[in-house]
Amino acid sequence: MAVSTNDLKNGMTLDLPDGLFSVVEFQHVKPGKGGAFVRTKLKNIRTGAVLDRTWRADEKLEQAIIDKRDMQFLYRDGTDYVFMDTTSYEQLTVSAEALGGAAQFLKESDTATLSLYGGEVVGGDLPAAVELTVTETEPGIQGDRVSGARKPATLQTGLVIQVPLFINPGDLVKVDTRTGEYLTRA
């Protein structure tokens, strides 16, 4: 679907020859001399690279319609992840590269919002925080309560994060999915 550069909005997705881009920021400029133009900052959906691009006013661009679906993670099949659509119960196999950083926070039966374009998964969104079980870490020692001291801990998904000294194997911890940091014991 063609859209004019005058109608651009933040968050809109464009299908450009360079790839699939999301509009981060735009500015319509009308100088005193010469024609108006639109200055944009675009983010590549697949790679995350940011690009600055300028177009003439009223130039036509191809808009990409992204379908966002709530999907439940079922299981891992080798390096791929198998999801089920919560409304139609269709199963979808997704590569770890398509999920990006979200793959390291997924455990079975979690729900994620997957972005699809033309049947291809172009990204995944998780809740702001997830609860994961600590599978491996050094045991905490009674009285070892140094303020701010941290130790590495391996979680059930294989992700290694820094946790406070009092966390033991088997504890349930809350992890921020945006930064990958320990938040609190659940």
- Residue 141's domain is classified under what CATH number? 2.40.50.140
pLDDT at 141 over 90: no
Do residues 51 and 96 lie in contact, with contact meaning Cβ atoms separated by under 8 Å? no
Give tens-digit pLDDT for 74-124. 988 888 889 998 888 889 888 888 887 778 888 888 888 888 888 788 877
Max CA-CA distance within the chain? 74
Residues 26 and 42: their CA atoms lie apart, in Å, by: 9
Residues 95 and 82: their CA atoms lie apart, in Å, by: 9
Residues 16 and 39: their CA atoms lie apart, in Å, by: 16
Category of 78 on φ-ψ map: left (φ > 0), alpha (ψ -120 to 50) or beta: left
Q: 62, 80, 99 — which closes off a domain?
A: 62
The range of the structural domain enclosing residue 163 comes to: 129-185
Over residues 145-158, the mean pLDDT reads 81
Q: 104, 125, 146 — which closes off a domain?
A: 125
Shared domain check, 174 and 150: yes
What separation, in Å, do the N-terminal and C-terminal C-alpha atoms of the chain show? Answer: 46
Residues 67 and 116: their CA atoms lie apart, in Å, by: 5
Query: Which pLDDT score, from 0 to 100, does residue 103 have?
Result: 81
Question: Which amino acid belongs to residue 184?
Answer: T
Shared domain check, 84 and 51: no
Shared domain check, 85 and 40: no
Number of domains in the chain: 3
As to burial, measured by CB atoms within 10 angstroms (0-12 exposed, 13-18 middle, 19+ buried), residue 41 is middle
| Dihedral angle sign, alpha carbons of residues 76, 81, 84, 86 | positive
Shared domain check, 9 and 57: yes
Shared domain check, 120 and 72: yes
Q: 83, 98, 125 — which closes off a domain?
A: 125
pLDDT at 41 over 90: yes
Shared domain check, 114 and 83: yes
- CB within 8 A of 21, min separation 6: which ones? 13, 14, 42, 43, 44, 45, 51
Domain with residue 10: its CATH number is: 2.30.30.30
Query: Which pLDDT score, from 0 to 100, does residue 5 have?
Result: 84
Q: What is the pTM of this model?
A: 0.71
Query: Which pLDDT score, from 0 to 100, does residue 145 have?
Result: 65
Shared domain check, 75 and 119: yes
Shared domain check, 143 and 167: yes
Shared domain check, 142 and 106: no
Shared domain check, 71 and 58: no
Q: What is the mean pLDDT of the chain?
A: 86
pLDDT at 146 over 80: no
